């Protein structure tokens, strides 16, 4: 049996697009909140394979999505490289900062990450055995630029200002951090594939704050290196790239990097993306996640509009960003029915 997501990633236009959601395992689901409480804290949930596998499986049981995405966090990689990582309730992640050559030199080499990340690979092995046979297992990592923005600032920032400042003041140190993250990301995703994931996705959540040559150097170049290395190690591996808020730079991104699919945020219209991005292959996206909070007829009509816009080529239905904690689980089912109905 051919899995629908793999067919779309191979360039097939399907009568009904396969569907999954970014952050589909998460706080909008009561069963997730119960498991999270059992874990005690977020990092324990990430590093306890049985619990991480359970929350990955919950939306598959409830909705029958065509793919499951490994439950983890993009900041586990910097932690594996030696950065301190903790989560502040209600505020999100905090990291020790890397802003100097000495700080960069103190990080571990890329090949040292597997000691810390072994539980993540065990989660993948559990899922590879437990998922329904028709469901594709997606692994992921944060893209080097996005992960670097957290490592430089020590937290998420609205404009990625600290990373931009370091890039301007000491480009060599910043480039060194990007290079280390690129090598570590190759090793991390490769280990996920060896454990059983069938597709990998690269999340560049803050790509949209890069301009001109910086976009080429820090969004496109690392993606190209990662994808080429993964495909050399794992021939035929499909890769989804998500340079969020890239705008016009979505055009040609697949060709430039070797990605099999470009995921799109909802700041671009599906109609524009069909004309400018889908011509190079599979696209994923791009429903506004806010519609899963508000629901109603607009959710149904917008879902159908996205499906219609991308119906002329390979498409994986998804949101323009992760589902939010305020989303109504019933609205997710309405969206799925609108895609499949």
Active site residue 211: no
- Give me the catalytic one of 23, 225, 244, 249: 23
Q: If 0-12 CB within 10 Å is exposed, 13-18 middle and 19+ buried, where does residue 316 land?
A: buried
- Give me the catalytic one of 33, 73, 125, 340: 73
Active site residue 308: no
Q: Token pair for residue 307?
A: 């499906």
- Give me the catalytic one of 28, 36, 260, 265: 36
Active site residue 150: yes
Please report the sign of the dihedral spanned by the C-alpha atoms of residue 70, residue 72, residue 74, residue 80.
Answer: negative
Active site residue 23: yes
Is residue 142 a contact partner of residue 203, using CB atoms and an 8 Å limit? yes
Per DSSP bridges, beta strands 92-95 and 85-88 are antiparallel
Q: If 0-12 CB within 10 Å is exposed, 13-18 middle and 19+ buried, where does residue 10 land?
A: middle
CB count within 10 Å of CB 121 equals 19
- Give me the catalytic one of 28, 150, 188, 250: 150
Active site residue 27: yes
Q: Whole-angstrom Cα distance, residue 46 to residue 255?
A: 34
Q: Whole-angstrom Cα distance, residue 37 to residue 54?
A: 13
Residues in Cβ contact with 25 at an 8 Å cutoff, skipping those fewer than 6 apart:
32, 55, 56, 58, 59, 69, 71
Is residue 340 a contact partner of residue 300, using CB atoms and an 8 Å limit? no
Q: Whole-angstrom Cα distance, residue 118 to residue 130?
A: 19
Q: Catalytic residues, which ones?
A: 23, 27, 36, 73, 150
């Amino acid at each position: 049996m051919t899995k629908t997501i793999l067919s779309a990633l191979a360039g097939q236009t399907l009568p009904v697009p396969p569907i999954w959601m970014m952050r589909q395992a998460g706080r909008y689901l009561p069963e997730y909140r119960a498991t999270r409480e059992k874990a005690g804290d977020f990092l324990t949930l990430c590093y306890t394979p049985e619990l991480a596998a359970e929350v990955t499986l919950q939306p598959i049981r409830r909705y029958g999505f065509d793919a499951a995405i490994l439950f983890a966090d993009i900041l586990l990689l910097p932690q594996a490289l030696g950065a301190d990582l903790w989560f502040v309730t209600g505020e999100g992640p905090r990291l020790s900062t890397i802003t100097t050559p000495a700080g960069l030199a103190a990080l571990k080499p890329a090949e040292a990450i597997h000691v810390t990340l072994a539980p993540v690979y065990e989660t993948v092995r559990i899922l590879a055995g437990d998922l329904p046979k028709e469901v594709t297992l997606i692994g992921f990592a944060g893209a080097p630029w996005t992960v670097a923005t957290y490592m430089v600032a020590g937290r998420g920032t609205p404009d990625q200002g600290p990373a931009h400042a370091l890039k301007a003041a000491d480009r060599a140190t910043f480039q060194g951090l990007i290079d280390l993250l690129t090598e570590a990301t190759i090793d991390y995703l490769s280990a996920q594939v060896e454990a059983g994931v069938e597709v990998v996705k690269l999340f560049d959540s803050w790509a949209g704050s890069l301009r001109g040559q910086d976009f080429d150097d820090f969004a496109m170049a690392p993606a190209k290196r990662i994808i080429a290395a993964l495909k050399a190690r794992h021939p035929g591996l499909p890769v989804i790239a998500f340079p969020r808020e890239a705008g016009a730079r979505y055009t040609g991104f697949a060709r430039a990097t070797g990605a099999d699919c470009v995921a799109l945020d909802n700041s671009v219209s599906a109609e524009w993306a069909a004309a400018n991005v889908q011509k190079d292959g599979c696209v994923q996206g791009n429903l506004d996640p806010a519609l899963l909070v508000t629901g109603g007829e607009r959710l149904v009509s917008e879902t159908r509009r996205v499906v219609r816009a991308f119906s002329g080529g390979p498409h994986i239905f998804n949101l323009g960003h992760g589902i939010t904690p305020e989303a109504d689980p019933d609205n997710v089912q309405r969206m799925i029915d609108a895609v499949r109905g």
